[in-house]
Amino acid sequence: MKPRSRRQLPSVPVASMGDIAFLLIIFFMVCSNPMKEQHIDLQPPRAEDLVDVKEENVSVSISAQGQIFVQGLVVADAEAAGWMVAALIADKVADGRTVMLK
């Protein structure tokens, strides 16, 4: 009997496989028809009655003699705390009320 010769499997060149895959991706991207963005025609709601909210600052002044003025009016010590608390509680501004100390 004749000894069998072992066949070598043919080698497949894989060096250019990445190039071929990259070229196929580019080809299909160029030939494809991408979907266009669909825009929604949106109408914002309209307000019927708009009221301007007037934002006032609270002014608190203390003189050299120790007198306390709230909004330009002289007040006693107990009243000053009441005015300031009432003004700050009555405030409906989201960011809070500005209190200026002079």
Confidence of residue 19 (pLDDT cuts 50, 70, 90): very high
Q: Residue 20: what pLDDT?
A: 92
More confident residue, 18 or 33: 18
**How is residue 29 written in tokens?**
């991207």
What's the pLDDT score for residue 80? 60
More confident residue, 41 or 68: 41
Domain locations in the chain as residue ranges: 58-101
Q: What is the mean pLDDT of the chain?
A: 76
Answer for the pair 61, 18: CB distance below 8 angstroms, yes or no. Answer: no
Q: Is the pTM of this model over 0.75?
A: no
Confidence band, pLDDT 50/70/90 cuts, at residue 27 = very high
